[in-house]
Amino acid sequence: MGKKGKKIKSSGEGGMVYSTNSSFGLGDALANALGNESESEQNTLEVHFEKKGRGGKTAVVVKGFTGSDEELKTLGKTLKTKCGVGGSAKDGEIIIQGNIRDKIIEVLKAEGYNTKRVGG
């Protein structure tokens, strides 16, 4: 009696929620699930242009991503694919080759992220 709701793990995005608590409602489970998604949308990604330490080559660095490493790599792959360039995603940063900061900002906004242009 009085137990909190538990989420049963499943292979997909959603899952079944089971609770023996009579005051636990589906609205609580939805609010918790939606709360996590809205945090990533409220997060502001900083889009930097860098040239130092790269042998004279230009790169765009996306900083400020909060999420798992898998989500970071997925976003990095999306950016690289849509812009047709190379790059990497590691240590909480996405590095994209070339000076295509404006295009990256457009892609990030289309994906639902807030962006901030930083630097020259």
Written as tens digits, the pLDDT of the chain (120 aa) is 555 555 555 445 556 666 676 665 655 555 555 554 444 455 789 999 988 878 889 999 999 998 899 999 999 999 999 999 999 998 899 999 999 999 999 999 999 999 999 886
Position of tokens 């909060």?
66
For residue 10, give its domain range: 6-40
Residue 10 CB partners (closer than 8 Å, separation 6+): 16
Residue 22 belongs to some domain of the structure: yes
Please check whether residues 50 and 102 belong to one and the same domain.
yes
Residue 85 belongs to some domain of the structure: yes
Residue 1 belongs to some domain of the structure: no
Please check whether residues 108 and 51 belong to one and the same domain.
yes
Q: Is the dihedral of CA 57, 96, 62, 46 positive or negative?
A: positive
How many domains are there within the chain? 2
